[in-house]
Amino acid sequence: MWDYSFAIPSILILAILLINYFMLQRLPIRVNKNFVSLLLIETAVITSDIFSSWACENYQDLPKFVVVSSNMFYFIFFILRAFAFFVFTCSILELDPTENQFRTFLCRLPMIITEVVTLSSPFTKAVFFIGSTGYQRGSLYNIIVLNFAIYLFLSIHATVIFKSRLKAKRDFFGILFYLLILIVGLIFRIMFPRYLLMDTFCVMTIISINLLFMNPEYFIERRTRLFNSEGLRIILQDTTRQKYNTIFAFVIRHYQEAVEIYGAKQMDVGIRLIGLYLRRILPKEKLFYYRSGRFVIMTKSSVDVSGVIKKIEERFKSPWLSDNVELYLEARFVEVSPDYEMYDSDIVINTLVNALSKANNSTDKSHILVGRDMFDAIQDNTAIKRALEKAIENNKIEVFLQPIMDAQTNTLVGAESLCRIRDDKGEIISPNKFIPIAESNGRINQLGEQVFEKTCKFISENDMSALGLEWINVNLSAAQFMKKDLSSDFSNLIEKYNLRPSDIHLEITEAVIVDDDIMNNQIQSLRQKGFLFSLDDYGTGYSNISRLKHSPFSNVKIDMSIVWDYCNNPDFLLPMLIKAFKKAGYSLTAEGIETKEIEDTMKSIGFDYLQGMYYSPPIPMDEFIKKYTKSS
């Protein structure tokens, strides 16, 4: 006799979970689909378990076909259940079965073999048979237990190997917790086969999964009841998203200003009203609220996107009304080409946010079309950010040197240190691309510190006189220049490498100089330590000779744009500027020397130093040593 007392409540609990699942708004992603499959399979297991147990008890009164079939269905679903738990675990770990078809086949193999052996039982009596005394276990009955144990082992193995894919440590322990429940349930099945306890433990596991991983509120924005930004990221990551192959979005124009005008509470009501409107006109589409007045809609190809956008635009021409709320808002739209499916979810989201920002700031009411060019630009930018982070974290910033020549003797007298980083292929990334990123994300300080220290190390390890070098210029960024402990940091490095401060000249770009007091205080602090200064890119900022007269620079570097302009259209301004600077006591460096003609012209009007591609592009330190070391 079998005890059904544990199975009946289990199936009632499953019914509640199924009702709950289909009543709540959920994302159409793999993990949700696998969870509902698990619910349905578990329901089939318990139902067939109860029916087959009843059939076995009444085998004498029932046709043999009914008894055999009921047991066959039970074993088929029992075997499938083990695989379903494994598949769900893989979906939590964000493992894509399409990434490696051979690995996927190997993972399915235990289930396939066990199912084949089970299906052969009416002929081979392998797993079970119905004899004269009723239900009997076959010689290979334990293969179903082994199958379950294999998938438990594979689940634990995958969780340990791929735990880095989980968002939080809590998720890792959550998976191990529900797998432990299954292990205990399997042990109870082996020890107490006549009690339908395994089903109860499986239901306990499903309840744990539901509490730990399946709360749809994680992905719902509270005001609009639309999916939130995390929901958008998740659905874009999911490879089953092809059903929704069109994306468009809109942003409430000048959202922050609207919050200031109407107040946060009224704008919250407005956001809720917009969410309700979208749910009414697009009930079957996936709707997202991505913070700061940004709404994203994923639709099927059959939806007339242009018509929907026009309808929403018309709605925004009227105020959004509720109790004590009357909001006049304007929207700007972005349409995303189907090419988005080729890109990583983070790239798609970053591109979309960037496009919405452009639309928000544009005075043109036309829609922005996000195509492959925008995706590629954001993807390249993201790759540069990653390369920059990797280079800084691993101390892989490279320093290249560009020679500075004495205009009178045409010999090497100095050099400028320039930072370089490489991409994953080992190719040099242009500083014009990664320097602005380093400045915007705050990494410019670490970058500058590595360049300064590696320059110090180069000077300490090489014979400067053999190279013909009197000094090396190192650039200072605006962020570095604002550091209060900059002078002590640099002095410590100078002492560490046993150098003279005058071995390094610090270059400050003219555009950096905004606050004279801060600049002068910082320069005075560094000058007291013995450092000398050069003003870089003169002519691109706001400085003038009167202003520089009170600044303790020893050298002024004239920007290449001024040099080239003079060579193309000679006039009296640059020669007069040079005379004025020299009278004020500054030495002068001409940047952008690219031809013999430019070199001769700059020499003739009085420059002291020359720098440019005519002499050499910036080259790695080891190449610089080989090229400029003087033979004894």
Question: How far is the C-alpha of 134 from the C-alpha of 489, rounded, in Å?
Answer: 87
The CATH number covering residue 540 comes to 3.20.20.450
Point out the domain boundary residue: 193, 217, 241: 217
The CATH number covering residue 38 comes to 1.20.1070.10
Domain membership of residue 310 (yes or no) is yes
Question: How far is the C-alpha of 174 from the C-alpha of 158, rounded, in Å?
Answer: 14
Assess whether 478 and 539 both reside in one domain. Answer: yes
Domain membership of residue 594 (yes or no) is yes
Angle, helix 197-213 to helix 30-57, in steps of 10 degrees: 170
Query: Domain range spanning residue 188?
Result: 7-217
Question: How far is the C-alpha of 485 from the C-alpha of 482, rounded, in Å?
Answer: 9
Assess whether 240 and 253 both reside in one domain. Answer: yes
Listed in sequence order, the residues at least 6 apart from 495 whose beta carbon sits closer than 8 Å to its beta carbon are none
In this predicted model, what pLDDT tens digit does every residue of 491-502 receive, in sequence order?
Answer: 999 999 999 999
Point out the domain boundary residue: 217, 236, 258: 217
Dump the DSSP string for 490-517: HHHHHHHTT--GGGEEEEEEGGG---HH
Assess whether 243 and 189 both reside in one domain. Answer: no
In 3D, which of 250, 355, 376, 257 has the Cα closest to residue 310? 250
Assess whether 444 and 524 both reside in one domain. Answer: yes
- The secondary structure of 53-109, three-state, reads HHHHHCCCCCCHHHHHHHHHHHHHHHHHHHHHHHHHHHHHCCCCCCCCHHHHHHHHH
Structure tokens at 156: 């634990």
Q: Within 10 A of 460 (CB to CB), how many other CB atoms are there?
A: 14
Domain membership of residue 378 (yes or no) is no
Assess whether 63 and 203 both reside in one domain. Answer: yes
Identify the band that residue 632 occupies on the pLDDT scale cut at 50, 70 and 90. very low
DSSP state, residue 208: H
Assess whether 332 and 442 both reside in one domain. Answer: no
In this predicted model, what pLDDT tens digit does every residue of 524-559 receive, in sequence order?
Answer: 888 888 888 888 878 765 555 655 666 678 899 999
Assess whether 331 and 467 both reside in one domain. Answer: no
Domain membership of residue 376 (yes or no) is no
Point out the domain boundary residue: 217, 238, 266: 217
Assess whether 211 and 73 both reside in one domain. Answer: yes
Is 442 or 127 the better-scoring residue by pLDDT?
127
- For range 80-103, the mean pLDDT: 89
DSSP 3-state of 196: coil
Total domains, the chain: 3
Q: What percent of the chain lies above the pLDDT cut of 70?
A: 93
Assess whether 121 and 258 both reside in one domain. Answer: no
Position 270, amino acid: G
In 3D, which of 51, 87, 18 has the Cα closest to residue 196? 51
In this predicted model, what pLDDT tens digit does every residue of 178-206 receive, in sequence order?
Answer: 999 999 999 988 888 766 678 889 999 99
Assess whether 209 and 227 both reside in one domain. Answer: no
* Burial of 79: CB neighbours in 10 Å, binned 0-12, 13-18, 19+: buried
Domain membership of residue 377 (yes or no) is no
In this predicted model, what pLDDT tens digit does every residue of 68-78 receive, in sequence order?
Answer: 999 999 999 99
Assess whether 183 and 234 both reside in one domain. Answer: no
* Burial of 425: CB neighbours in 10 Å, binned 0-12, 13-18, 19+: exposed
Assess whether 618 and 487 both reside in one domain. Answer: yes
The CATH number covering residue 230 comes to 3.30.70.270
Domain membership of residue 604 (yes or no) is yes
